[in-house]
Amino acid sequence: MDRISYFVDDMAPYLMIAFPIILVVRFIHYFSKRKNGFQTTLFHELLIILYFLFLVGLASQTIFPDFVNGPDGLKIVESEVQRFNLVPFNKIKEIKNAIMYDNVDYVIIEVFGNIAIFVIIGFLTPLLWKKYEKMKNTVGISFLISLFIETTQIFLPRATDVDDLIMNTLGGLIGYILYLLVKKGIPHFSDRCKADNRKNQVVGMTEEP
């Protein structure tokens, strides 16, 4: 829990900066598209904002530098030595060592964390946009986001690991499967999460009597 609290506290400044920017961008998007019949809902827009805030939070932990407020003002925190792993499934050996030395935090963050983060992406992406309702599109965007992160980290003092790419993509696939279960079990909820650009129609938002 301490590690989770640390990550949340570290994300907070980035999220506070990103929130008004996302709001402005969504307003501009809506007013620029509504002449073509674009329709949306408050529910859809709230989910969109949460989705992009989540991506900002992810970037803050994988790409953006860390800052510390010292006596001389803000300074970039020196990160750990850069590490590369281009051997698939090398993390299995690292997990065994972590378990042997009772390093539970490593297993939670490096394995379950890498999968769980992209479960959210794999679930929300098709939930919000029709074009990602096909598995290849959602798993593909999960792969591309992870690839962008891992490629960017090559130029940063961070760890670049092909196993992270594999686990992130797996997380995207699991998230997509969860989306299919929700779509089948609660179709009305799935429909109302999307906006539509057919004039005078909002998918799944018919007013209840």
DSSP 29-97: HHHHHGGGT-B--HHHHHHHHHHHHHHHHHHHHHTSPPEEEETTEEEEPPPPPPEEE-STTTHHHHHHH
The 10 Å Cβ neighbour count of residue 83 is 11
Of residues 102 and 123, which shows the higher confidence score?
A: 123
pLDDT confidence of residue 177:
98
Report whether pLDDT(201) > 60. no
Residue 31: pLDDT over 90: no
| Mean pLDDT on 74-81 | 57
Asked if 129 and 195 touch (Cβ cutoff 8 Å), the reply is no
Give bridge partners of residue 196 from the DSSP assignment.
Answer: 39
Cα separation, 63 vs 103, in Å, equals: 25
Beta bridge pairs of residue 83: 159
What CA–CA distance (Å, rounded) separates 103 from 171? 22
For residue 57, name the pLDDT band (cuts at 50, 70, 90).
very high
Rounded (5°) CA angle 17-20-26: 130
| 83 confidence band (pLDDT: 50, 70, 90) | confident
What is the predicted pLDDT for the residue at 77?
Answer: 60
Mean pLDDT for the chain overall: 84
Q: What is the mean pLDDT of residues 126-130?
A: 95
Q: What is the pTM assigned to this prediction?
A: 0.82
pLDDT reported for residue 3: 63
Q: Where are the domains of the chain?
A: 2-192
Long-range contact set of residues 130-135: C-beta below 8 Å, sequence gap at least 24: 130/194, 135/173, 135/176
Is pLDDT larger for residue 143 or for residue 74?
143
